[in-house]
Amino acid sequence: MTNTVVEELIDQLIKEYHEGVRIIKDLSAGFVLTTSITTLAILILIFGDRIFSVL
């Protein structure tokens, strides 16, 4: 959702193509990906023993 908000806001503010906009959108997508991977790692650290004991 964060990525969508950033992209829509930038699209509204800057109508024409700009290289800086592409970089900002790529950084936003990278931030969301990094946050998702970090969240998964933390969840595995907290609940990993319970998850893998069921499997």
Q: Where are the domains of the chain?
A: 2-54
Q: What is the pLDDT of residues 11-55, one digit of tens each?
A: 888 888 889 888 988 999 999 999 999 999 999 999 998 888 877
Q: What is the pLDDT of residue 35?
A: 95
Task: Please give the model's pTM, rounded to 2 decimal places.
Answer: 0.70
- Of the pLDDT bands very low, low, confident and very high (cuts 50, 70, 90), residue 9 is confident
Instruction: Compute the distance between CA of residue 47 and CA of residue 24 in angstroms, rounded to an integer.
Output: 34
